[in-house]
């Protein structure tokens, strides 16, 4: 009989392609054990897929009474044996154990995960173990697939990946919500310019965006993207906010707002299609137990064009809505999550791209439209989430950008390098930022953003 190599023997591989009669070795964790006379039926899962593998352990195993009959949920085992056709419903094969080794025990008196549904709130309290559950295990697999899909998409589109700094001296958003990075003792941070004595001899912080640095490479390599962790010291303890999260930020030279929107829409459709194709079992679980109608929503995103409207058109739609919003709607104010969801869920029925926002509510780097009242900005709003993508055509005109920076109170000397990009071979360019965790929420239907990142960092909470 042909045996599989150790690298091939995940449960996913065995269930998909291993022929009956194969001699295999499986290393996994026990989900359940039930006994029937001198037989034990073990349900094994190794995280490679949603499905588990049933192992039949017979009483003639050397350690059957001493160890097999003591196995409980969470124990780690190594099982060697033969794949045989299964008479049970819902599975084509099972593993007849020839030998079973207990690699690690899990005390049933203290192991917090049992064969039952646990609330997501409870699972957040044991973030080091929650990935072993069906739902959070599925989130991990979908997140991994999306991560790979992002890199594949941009490679196929001719983009180069650049690694922008995690430690920065530039506050891209201008909101001042940066975590300070310092080597100084707390008592030394006083006086007129304490950071002059610090490691970088100036104030530094964890980045809120890699966009400004990505622009450097867009203006030398044409099409680039950065994808990594970003940080916001915003004291917001809601289901929509994290202090540490991942951002995807492509940047394109010789590109205007329309080209920016086209790329973002194509990317979202591509990633949703990929997940529908590659993560069907996990999405079916989310559709049944987490968010009813998820598969239909994803199919709509994949197959139907997004609706595009200006900010002014969006405000008019909201003003005539036959419902009352918690936050009043008026031209010049930022759209709230309830407004964003209303536009895509009740007005359009598909994702909506809102463009040309008032310049007073957008950052300094966005290109001023003719008339100076609005900027060439765009946000992509999706059902269940609200804003998924925010982007713009960047201001490529030196004098206009300089005036915007002065108006925003920025130190022109500190941002001199950014102005230089407009002095030496400036071209129209555009880009956007996509919050990766919100994308994972979109395709899984998970309601709380803390459940789609392995280790959520929020005010007062930084486990592991």
Distance CA 362, CA 302 (A): 29
Interval 263-268 mean pLDDT: 98
Higher pLDDT, 241 or 252: 252
pLDDT in the model for residue 143: 98
**All residues at 6 or more sequence positions from 441 whose CB lies less than 8 Å from its CB, including other chains:** 384, 385, 447, 449, 452
Is pLDDT of 174 > 60? no
Q: Which letter does DSSP use for residue 449 in this model? A: G
Q: What is the pLDDT of residues 318-346, one digit of tens each?
A: 999 999 999 999 999 999 999 999 999 99
d(C-alpha 426, C-alpha 399), whole Å? 12
pLDDT for position 142 = 98
* CA 109 to the chain's CA centroid: 35
In the prediction, which pLDDT does 1 show?
A: 40
Bridge-based pairing state of the strands 223-231 and 160-161: parallel
Q: What is the mean pLDDT of residues 233-242?
A: 87
Positive or negative: CA dihedral 435, 437, 440, 445: negative
The residues that bridge with 44 in the sheet, in sequence order, are 30, 53
Q: Residue 184: helix, strand or coil by DSSP?
A: coil
Mean pLDDT to the nearest integer, 26-53 = 96
Tell me phi and psi for residue 28, to 5 degrees.
-160, -175
At how many degrees (to 10) do helices 134-156 and 280-289 cross? 130
Q: In this structure, how many other beta carbons lie within 10 angstroms of the beta carbon of residue 106?
A: 15
Is 80 exceeded by the pLDDT of residue 3? Answer: no
pLDDT of residue 7: 44
Q: How much is the pLDDT for 187?
A: 82
How would you class 104 by CB atoms within 10 Å of its CB: exposed for 0-12, middle for 13-18, buried for 19 or more?
exposed
- pLDDT tens per residue, range 189-227: 888 888 999 999 998 999 999 999 999 999 999 999 999
Examine the pLDDT at 257 and tell me if it is beyond 60: yes
pLDDT at position 4: 46
In whole angstroms, how large is the CA radius of gyration of the chain? 27
Mean pLDDT of 153-160: 98
Q: What does the pLDDT read at residue 361?
A: 95
Helix (H) or strand (E) holding 34: strand 23-36
Mean pLDDT of the chain: 94
Chain segment 342-393, per-residue pLDDT in tens: 999 999 999 999 999 999 999 999 999 999 999 999 999 999 999 999 999 9
């Amino acid at each position: 009989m042909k045996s599989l190599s150790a690298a091939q023997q995940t449960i996913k591989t065995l269930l998909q392609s291993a022929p009956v009669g194969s001699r295999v070795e499986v290393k996994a964790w026990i989900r359940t054990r039930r006994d029937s006379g001198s037989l034990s039926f073990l349900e094994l899962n190794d995280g490679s897929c949603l499905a588990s593998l049933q192992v039949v352990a017979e009483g003639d195993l050397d350690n059957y009474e001493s160890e097999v009959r003591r196995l409980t949920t969470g124990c780690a085992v190594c099982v060697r044996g033969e794949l045989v056709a299964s008479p049970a419903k819902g599975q084509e094969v099972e593993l007849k154990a020839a030998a079973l080794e207990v690699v690690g025990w899990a005390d049933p008196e203290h192991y917090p995960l049992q064969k039952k549904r646990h609330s997501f709130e409870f699972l957040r309290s044991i973030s080091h173990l929650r990935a072993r559950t069906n739902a959070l295990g599925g989130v991990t697999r979908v997140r991994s697939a999306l991560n790979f899909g992002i890199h594949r998409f941009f490679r196929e589109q001719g983009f180069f990946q650049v690694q922008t700094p995690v430690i920065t001296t530039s506050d891209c958003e201008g909101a001042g919500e940066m975590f300070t990075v310092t080597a100084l003792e707390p008592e030394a941070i006083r006086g007129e310019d304490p950071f002059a004595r610090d490691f970088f001899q100036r104030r530094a912080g964890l980045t809120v965006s890699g966009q400004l640095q990505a622009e450097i490479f867009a203006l030398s390599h044409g099409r680039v993207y950065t994808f990594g962790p970003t940080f916001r010291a915003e004291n917001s303890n809601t289901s929509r906010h994290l202090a540490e999260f991942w951002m995807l930020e492509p940047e394109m030279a010789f590109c205007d707002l329309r080209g920016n929107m086209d790329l973002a829409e194509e990317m979202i459709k591509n990633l949703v299609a990929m997940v529908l194709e590659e993560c069907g079992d996990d999405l079916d679980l989310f559709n049944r137990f987490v968010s009813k109608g998820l598969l239909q929503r994803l199919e709509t995103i994949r197959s139907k064009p997004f609706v595009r409207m200006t900010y002014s058109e969006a405000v008019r739609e909201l003003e005539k809505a036959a419902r009352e919003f918690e936050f009043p709607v008026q031209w010049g104010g930022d759209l709230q999550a309830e407004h964003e969801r209303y536009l895509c869920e009740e007005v359009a029925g598909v994702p909506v791209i809102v463009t040309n926002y008032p310049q007073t509510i957008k950052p300094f780097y966005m290109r001023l439209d003719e008339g100076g009242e609005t900027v060439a900005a765009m946000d992509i709003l999706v059902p269940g989430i609200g804003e998924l993508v925010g982007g713009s055509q960047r201001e490529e005109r030196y004098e206009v950008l300089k005036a915007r920076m002065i108006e925003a109170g920025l130190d022109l000397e500190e941002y001199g390098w950014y102005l230089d990009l407009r002095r030496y071979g400036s071209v129209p360019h555009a880009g956007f930022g996509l919050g990766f965790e919100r994308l994972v929420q979109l395709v899984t239907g998970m309601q709380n953003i803390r459940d789609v990142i392995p280790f959520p960092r929020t005010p007062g909470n930084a486990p592991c």
